[in-house]
Structure 1
Amino acid sequence: MKKILALLTSPRFLFFYIVLTLAIPNVALCFTEHMPVLACIANIVLPVSLYAFLMTLSAKTGRQVWCMFLIIFFAAFQIVLLYLFGRGVIAVDMFLNLVTTNPGEAMELLNNLVPAVATVFILYLPLLVLAAMSWARHRTEDKAFLKRVRRYSCYGMAVGAVFIALSYVAYPKDSDFDYRAEDHVYPANIFYNFYLACRESGRVADYRKDVADFRFNARSVHAADSAEVYVLVIGETARADNFQLYGYERETNPLLSKTDGLSVFRHVLSQSNTTHKSVPMLLAAASAEDHARLYREKSLITAFREAGFHTSFISNQQPNHSFIDFFGDEADDFVFIRSAVSVVTGDVTAQTSDERLLPYVQNILAKKRKKELIVLHTYGSHFNYRDRYPRHRARFMPDTPTEAEAKNRPSLVNAYDNTICQTDFVLHSIITMLGKSGAQAAMLYTSDHGENIFDDYRKRFLHASPTPSCHGIHVPLIVWTSASYRAEYPGVVSALNANREKDVQSSVSVFPTMLSIAGISAQCVADVMPQSLANPAFRSSKRHYLNDHNRSVTLQQAGFADIDFEQLKHWGIAQH
C-alpha cells in the first residue's frame, strides 16, 4: 500500500496526471464544436504544451498542481457544461449566471446533474488530494526532466502558434467558419469570456449613475378620468411548443383556450435564451440590434410613471443585482415575494408557485386607482419543474423521476406540461380579477425564453446554452383585453388581431406594444414604436439573436442547426 501511495504522489505521476486530464476539454471541444482540422490541431497542441510548460516552473510538482487550480476548476466546469448542453465553451453568460442565479436554483440544478458532477470529482479531486500529499511530503521532480520537458513544450507552443496563424488564413471572417483564437482556443476563450463578463458587470454597476437624468417625457393620450389597468406578465422558461394555444396536442391551457379577448401571436422568437439578457430587453427599448441602448435608458415602468400611472413590480424570483432589479426599482412598489430563509426552511413548491403573486394583484386592484401598471416576474417553468405546481394540480403523470437524463424525458415532459397548466391557471386568475375590476384593462404575457427537454438527437437540456436551439427561443406571446377596453379602443384590438400571424421578436415588440396599448406617447422612443403589435402598419423585421458577446447575429451565425430550421419551418416561422 505504501508503494502504491508513493507512486501516486510521485511528481512524475502527478505531472502526467494533470496534463492528460486538463487536455480532456481540449479534445472534447474539437468534436463538439465541429472545428476544422487546422483549428483542432491548434486547440490541442498549443494548450497541452502550455500545461506542460507551466508544470515545469517548479520542482515541487504537488504545489504547482495547486497553483493551476483555476485551470482545473475551469476544466471541471467545462466538462459539466458539455454534459448539460452537448457543446460550447464556458460563456460570458455562464459567468454572469454565477452572480445572477440564486443559490436555490443552483442547488436544484446540481442535484440533478449527478453523472457530470461525479465525473469531474473522479477526475480532479484525487489529483488535488494527491498533489497536497506530495506537497506536504516535499517531494520534488528531477531538474533534468523539467528542463527537457520545458524545451519540448516550447517547441509545442511554437507549433501551435503556427497552426493558429494558418487557421486565420484558412478560415477568414467572411468564411463559413469564422476563426478567432479568442473563441476557438481553450482555455484562452474562457479567460477572454471571463474578462468580458467582468467588463459587463462593471457597466451594469454604473447603470444607475449613467441614467440618473434620463427622461422619456412620456404622456398619456387616453382620457385622464378613465380607469385603466395594464398588466405585463413575464414568464420564465415557457416554450410555445407545449402550449395548447399553439397547437400542442395536450390540454395544457384548459382555461385560456376558453377565454374571450385573447390575441395569440403564433410566430414569436426571443432574442436570447438567458433570463438576465431577455427580461431587460422585454422591459426596455433595447434589442439585439441596439443592445447598447440598455445602458443609457430606463424601462417602460418609468415611461408609465411619467404618464401618470401608479406602478408595481412584483417578483416571484430573488434579487440578482442585474438590470431586472434596477428596472423593478423604478416602480412605486417593488416587492420580492420570496426570501432565502423561507425557501430553505419551507416547502419548495409552496414558496415558488406563482399563485403567490395573485393576492398581490388582488390587493393592488382593490385600491381602485385610476391608472395602474402591474409588472409580474414569475418563476414559471424553471427547472426543477416538479416544484413549480402544487400536487393537486398535477395533470400529467408520472412526473418523476426528474434527474437530467435523456431516459427520463417522458416524466420530465409531464412535469413541464404541468408547469404550463399552472401558468394557465395563474393567467386566467389574473384575467378574471381584471375583468371584475371594472377598469379598461389589458394583459400581455410572454416568456423570457424557452427550454430544451432532450427533444432530438442532440439531447440538449435546459436553456442558456452558448449555442441556442429553436426550442430555447420559441416563446408564447398573448395579449388579453377586457370587454370595456375592446369597446373603447377597437382600432388597437383590430391591429393586434391583424398581426397575430406575423413573425415577431418579443425582445423588439413588447416594450412598444405595452406603450401603445396604454396610449402612452414618448418622442425619444418613437423609433421603436413601428414594432408595436398594436400598430396597424407593423412589419416583421429580420430575425436577430444576441450572442454571448452581446453581438447581434443571424440565427445561422448564432449556431442554429439544420434541425432547428426544419422545426421553424414546421411551426410556420420565418427563418430570416
Structure 2
Amino acid sequence: MIKSTDIIRCCASPHGIFWLTVAVLAIPNVALCFTERMGIMASVTNIVLPVAAVWLLMALGRRPGKTALLLFPLMFLAAFQIVLLYLFGHSIIAVDMFLNLVTTNVGEAMELLDNLLPAIVIVVVIYVPVIVLAVVSLRRGDVLSRSFLLRQRRRSLAALVAGAACMAGSYLAGRDYSARLHLYPLNVFYNIYLAADRYKATADYPQTSAGFSFNAVPTHAASGREVYVLVIGETARACSFGLYGYGRNTTPMLQRTGGLTVFSDAITQSNTTHKSVPMLLSAASAEDYGRIYREKGIITAFREAGFHTTFISNQRPNHSFIDIFGKEADDWKFIKEETERSDMYDEDMLRMVNDILDKKRAKELIVLHTYGSHFNYRERYRRSEAVFRPDNASEAKVSNRRQLLNAYDNSIRSTDRFLSLLIRQLDRSGAVSAMLYTSDHGENIFDDGRRLFLHASPIPSYYELHVPLLIWMSPSYRQMYAAEAAAVGSNSRKSVATSASVFHTMLSLAGISTPLRADSLSVASSSYKPGERHYLNDHNLPVAIKKILRGDEDFVMFRKMNLKY
C-alpha cells in the first residue's frame, strides 16, 4: 500500500519536482480543451506543444527547484486562468481582464476575492506546494543528473516536433485556427501585449486628442432654464426590473412615475465597465471604437454649447477613460474620495444634485455614475431597505443563488428609489428637463445550467447584454420639444444599442448641433434607424450579436424578452 509520506517524499525529490512542475502547468491546457470550442487537432496541439515546451525548459537546468521558481510567471497565469474558468466556465485570460487589474480599485477587488473562496483554495492547493517544494529543493542544493537531463531534452524536443505537426494540421483543417488566439499560453501573452498597447494609448490621450473640437452649438431658444441628466447605472440587467415584466416588484416607484419612457429592446456593446461607460460618454461605439483615442467626450460637447457641466461618481477613480471624460466637466467629484465612510450609497449624490439645481443656471448638464448593483450586492443598499430576504450570503457558489438574487433584487429597488427621487428633484426645479438612464452592462447570477456568475467574460450572455434604457421628460419639455418627445415614444419598441445611441440621443434631447451628431442613432429623433447590433469583443473588434451568443439559453432569453438578434 502506498503511504502519503511516500507520495510526499517522491514529490519532494529532484525528479518529483521536475515532473510535478510540468504537470501543474499543463492543467489549464487540459481544462481549456473541454471549455473551448476547438477541434480535435487543435485540442491535441493545445496540450502537446505547451507541455513539450515546459518539459524542455525544465530540462535546461540542473537545479529543478531553481528552474521551477523561474517558471513562476507561468504558474501565476495558470492560477489566474483556473480562477477565471471557475468564475466564467470558459475562455482564456482576456485583454480586458488584464486591463481590469489596473482599472479596478483595491477595495472592489477584495470584495470579489473574499467571495471566491473555492477557486482560491483550488489554486492554493495546486500551486503553493510546488513553490514550497521548489524553495526547499533549491536550499538543499538538489541537482539532476546529466544523463537524466539529456534524455528529457531529446524526448521533449521530439514532443515539440509532434506538437508543431499537430499545429500545422490545425491550420490545414481550415477552422480559422490561429496560434496567437487558440494556443495557451501564447494567446495569453498576446493579450498581455494588447493590454499594454491599450494602456499606453490611454496614457497618450492628452496628445492624441489635443486640438479636438465638436464645433457644438445650441439650437434651443435661449428662454428659461434647461437641465439634462445622464445617469449611468452599474451592473443592472433589464430582466430584473419590474418595468420589464420581472415577477418581483423591484421598481415600485418608477412604475408610478409619469413622463417615463421604457425602451424594451436595449443592449450594451460591452460587458466591461472600463469600455462600456466610456462609449456611453462619447461618440465611440463597437463599430468605431478607435475614435475614443482621438476625440473628447459628451461633456465637452455640452460645454462647447454653453452648458455648465458636472460629473459626479459614486465609484473610485480607476485611471480609465471614465476618469478622463468625467474630468472634462466644469465640476467633478468622486464622492468616495472625499469621505472616510465606507457605506456611500447612490442616494448620497442627490444632495449634490439639489445644490446644483439651487444655483438655477440657464443651461445645466449633470452626469451621475452610480455604483448600482455591483457585487457585493448586499453592500449597495441600507439594511433597512432589504425587502427580499435572506440576503446575507455572498460567496460565489450555486447553492447561494437564492440569497445572491435576493440581495441583487434589493439593489435594483435601491436604484428604483434613487431614480425616482432624482426625477422628483428635476420636476420640482421648474426647469425644462430630461433624464436618460441606462446601465453599463448586466450580470449573471447562476441563472441557468451554465452556472455563470458576475460579468466581463470574453463571451457575454443575454443577462450581461440586455440593459434597461429609460428616458424621463418633464411636462414643460414635452410641450416645448414635442417632436423629440414623440420620437422617444415611437422608438421605444425598436432595438437599440445603448453604447452607440446614448451620445447622439443626449445631444438631440438638449438641442445641440455638431457635425458628429448622427440622428440616425438618436432615439430622440424621427430619423432613428435600428441596424444590426454589435458587441465589442476582447480585441476591440465589432462582432454581430447573433455571432457572439454562446449558448441556446441566450437565444431562448432573447426570444422570451422579444429582443432582436
What band does the TM-score fall into relative to the shorter chain? over 0.9
Q: What are the residue-to-residue correspondences of 1:322-333 with 2, within 5 Å?
A: 322-333=320-331
Give the counterpart letter for 2:83 in structure 1.
V
Equivalent in 404, 409, 417 of residue 409 of structure 2 = 417
Conservation of the 8 A alpha-carbon contact between 1:470 and 1:560 = no
Matched position secondary structure for 1:407: helix
Larger CA deviation: 21-30 vs 548-557: 548-557
After TM superposition, give the deviation of residue 559 of structure 1 in Å: 4.4
After TM superposition, give the deviation of residue 543 of structure 1 in Å: 1.5
Q: Equivalents in 1 of 2:334, 2:403: separation in Å?
A: 31
Q: Equivalents in 2 of 1:179, 1:456: separation in Å?
A: 30
Give the counterpart letter for 1:224 in structure 2.
A
Q: Equivalents in 2 of 1:469, 1:370: separation in Å?
A: 43
Q: Note closer, same or farther for the CA distance 1:4–1:491 as it changes in structure 2 (3 Å cut).
A: closer
In structure 1, the residue matched to 2:440 is 448
Q: Does 1:89 align with 2:92?
A: yes
Give the counterpart letter for 2:534 in structure 1.
H
After TM superposition, give the deviation of residue 151 of structure 1 in Å: 1.0
Give the counterpart letter for 2:278 in structure 1.
P
Q: Note closer, same or farther for the CA distance 1:559–1:89 as it changes in structure 2 (3 Å cut).
A: farther
Conservation of the 8 A alpha-carbon contact between 2:549 and 2:555 = no
Q: What are the residue-to-residue correspondences of 1:258-269 with 2, within 5 Å?
A: 258-269=256-267
Matched position secondary structure for 1:509: helix
In structure 2, the residue matched to 1:522 is 514
Q: Equivalents in 1 of 2:338, 2:225: separation in Å?
A: 37
Q: Note closer, same or farther for the CA distance 1:243–1:107 as it changes in structure 2 (3 Å cut).
A: same
Q: Note closer, same or farther for the CA distance 1:354–1:417 as it changes in structure 2 (3 Å cut).
A: same
In structure 1, the residue matched to 2:292 is 294
In structure 1, the residue matched to 2:557 is 567
In structure 1, the residue matched to 2:532 is 542
Conservation of the 8 A alpha-carbon contact between 1:19 and 1:52 = yes
In structure 2, the residue matched to 1:275 is 273
Q: Does 1:426 align with 2:418?
A: yes
In structure 2, the residue matched to 1:360 is 352
Q: Note closer, same or farther for the CA distance 1:5–1:166 as it changes in structure 2 (3 Å cut).
A: closer
Q: Does 1:383 align with 2:375?
A: yes
Q: Equivalents in 1 of 2:5, 2:398: separation in Å?
A: 43
Matched position secondary structure for 2:492: coil
In structure 2, the residue matched to 1:122 is 125
Give the counterpart letter for 1:573 in structure 2.
L
Larger CA deviation: 332-341 vs 385-394: 332-341
Q: What are the residue-to-residue correspondences of 1:214-225 with 2, within 5 Å?
A: 214-225=212-223
In structure 2, the residue matched to 1:551 is 541
In structure 2, the residue matched to 1:285 is 283
Matched position secondary structure for 2:266: strand
Conservation of the 8 A alpha-carbon contact between 2:269 and 2:465 = yes
Q: Equivalents in 1 of 2:87, 2:231: separation in Å?
A: 29
Q: Which 4+ residue blocks in structure 1 deviate beyond 3 angstroms? A: 1-8
Q: Does 1:150 align with 2:153?
A: yes
Give the counterpart letter for 1:321 in structure 2.
H
Q: Note closer, same or farther for the CA distance 1:77–1:340 as it changes in structure 2 (3 Å cut).
A: farther
Structure 2: unaligned runs, 5 residues or longer: none
Q: Equivalents in 2 of 1:396, 1:266: separation in Å?
A: 25
Q: Equivalents in 2 of 1:557, 1:46: separation in Å?
A: 30
Q: Equivalents in 1 of 2:223, 2:559: separation in Å?
A: 47
Q: Does 1:98 align with 2:116?
A: no
Matched position secondary structure for 2:336: coil
Deviations 1:184-203 (A, max 9, x none): 11111110100000001011
Larger CA deviation: 5-14 vs 435-444: 5-14
Q: Equivalents in 2 of 1:393, 1:446: separation in Å?
A: 23
CA-based RMSD: 1.3
Q: Equivalents in 2 of 1:129, 1:570: separation in Å?
A: 52
Q: Equivalents in 1 of 2:281, 2:477: separation in Å?
A: 23
In structure 2, the residue matched to 1:461 is 453
Q: Does 1:50 align with 2:57?
A: no
Matched position secondary structure for 1:312: strand
Q: What are the residue-to-residue correspondences of 1:154-233 with 2, within 5 Å?
A: 154-172=157-175, 178-233=176-231
After TM superposition, give the deviation of residue 217 of structure 1 in Å: 0.7
Conservation of the 8 A alpha-carbon contact between 1:56 and 1:146 = yes
Q: Equivalents in 2 of 1:324, 1:108: separation in Å?
A: 21
Deviations 1:538-567 (A, max 9, x none): 111101110000011122432432221121
Q: Note closer, same or farther for the CA distance 1:341–1:256 as it changes in structure 2 (3 Å cut).
A: closer
Q: Does 1:238 align with 2:236?
A: yes
Q: Equivalents in 2 of 1:366, 1:556: separation in Å?
A: 47
Conservation of the 8 A alpha-carbon contact between 1:208 and 1:326 = no
Give the counterpart letter for 2:536 in structure 1.
L
In structure 2, the residue matched to 1:13 is 16
Q: Equivalents in 1 of 2:512, 2:224: separation in Å?
A: 14
Q: Note closer, same or farther for the CA distance 1:356–1:199 as it changes in structure 2 (3 Å cut).
A: same
After TM superposition, give the deviation of residue 327 of structure 1 in Å: 0.2
In structure 1, the residue matched to 2:41 is 38
In structure 2, the residue matched to 1:487 is 479
Matched position secondary structure for 1:479: strand
Matched position secondary structure for 1:339: helix
After TM superposition, give the deviation of residue 24 of structure 1 in Å: 0.8
Conservation of the 8 A alpha-carbon contact between 2:519 and 2:528 = no
Matched position secondary structure for 1:478: strand
After TM superposition, give the deviation of residue 341 of structure 1 in Å: 7.6
After TM superposition, give the deviation of residue 381 of structure 1 in Å: 0.2
Conservation of the 8 A alpha-carbon contact between 2:11 and 2:20 = no
Larger CA deviation: 150-159 vs 252-261: 150-159
Q: Does 1:496 align with 2:499?
A: no
Q: Note closer, same or farther for the CA distance 1:22–1:358 as it changes in structure 2 (3 Å cut).
A: same
Larger CA deviation: 441-450 vs 29-38: 29-38
Give the counterpart letter for 2:382 in structure 1.
P
Matched position secondary structure for 1:204: helix
After TM superposition, give the deviation of residue 2 of structure 1 in Å: 9.5
After TM superposition, give the deviation of residue 3 of structure 1 in Å: 7.9
Q: Equivalents in 1 of 2:275, 2:498: separation in Å?
A: 12
What TM-score comes out, normalization by structure 1 length? 0.96
Q: Equivalents in 1 of 2:546, 2:144: separation in Å?
A: 50
Q: Equivalents in 1 of 2:307, 2:390: separation in Å?
A: 46
Q: Does 1:138 align with 2:141?
A: yes
The percentage of counterpart residues that share the same residue type is: 55
Q: Equivalents in 2 of 1:276, 1:340: separation in Å?
A: 22
Q: Equivalents in 1 of 2:556, 2:254: separation in Å?
A: 29
Q: Equivalents in 1 of 2:425, 2:323: separation in Å?
A: 27
Q: Note closer, same or farther for the CA distance 1:337–1:109 as it changes in structure 2 (3 Å cut).
A: same
Give the counterpart letter for 1:285 in structure 2.
A
Q: Note closer, same or farther for the CA distance 1:99–1:401 as it changes in structure 2 (3 Å cut).
A: same
Conservation of the 8 A alpha-carbon contact between 1:272 and 1:545 = yes
After TM superposition, give the deviation of residue 5 of structure 1 in Å: 6.5
Conservation of the 8 A alpha-carbon contact between 1:263 and 1:480 = yes
Structure 1: unaligned runs, 5 residues or longer: 173-177
Q: Equivalents in 2 of 1:190, 1:333: separation in Å?
A: 40
Larger CA deviation: 434-443 vs 157-166: 157-166
Q: What is the count of residue pairs matched by the alignment?
A: 562
Q: Note closer, same or farther for the CA distance 1:376–1:141 as it changes in structure 2 (3 Å cut).
A: same
After TM superposition, give the deviation of residue 317 of structure 1 in Å: 0.4
Q: Note closer, same or farther for the CA distance 1:559–1:170 as it changes in structure 2 (3 Å cut).
A: farther
Q: Equivalents in 2 of 1:362, 1:75: separation in Å?
A: 50
After TM superposition, give the deviation of residue 467 of structure 1 in Å: 1.1
After TM superposition, give the deviation of residue 71 of structure 1 in Å: 0.2
Give the counterpart letter for 2:543 in structure 1.
V
